[in-house]
Amino acid sequence: MKGNMEERACELAVYIIENRATVRAAAKKYGISKSTVHKDLSERLPTFNHTLYLQVKDILEENKAERHIRGGIATRRKYKGE
């Protein structure tokens, strides 16, 4: 996954858009850190592909708004033994 940062940022964005994935899921899929994914999408992508950035930004904002719900579900599963 190392190499051209522009290609990596576009590939990450397309993956997140197609799968409606989280930053964590994208990082796991490509074997890079969450910090790298976030930096690629929020800082690098807007400079060379603004339309793709706007699409991925909507999904990231939606994920951010839902994360407290996902955390509650994960805690419930943990203590119920699921």
pLDDT in tens, the chain (82 residues): 556 889 999 999 999 999 999 999 999 999 999 999 999 999 999 999 999 999 999 999 998 888 778 788 888 888 887 6
What distance lies between CA 18 and its chain's CA centroid? Answer: 11
Rounded distance between C-alpha atoms, residue 14 and residue 17, angstroms: 5
Which single residue is written with the structure tokens 């909507």?
58
Rounded distance between C-alpha atoms, residue 56 and residue 50, angstroms: 10
The conformation of residue 1, written as its DSSP 8-state character, comes to -
Q: Residue 47: what pLDDT?
A: 94
Per the structure, the count of domains in the chain is 1
Q: Residue 41: what pLDDT?
A: 95
Rounded distance between C-alpha atoms, residue 15 and residue 2, angstroms: 16
> What is the span of the domain harbouring residue 69?
5-80
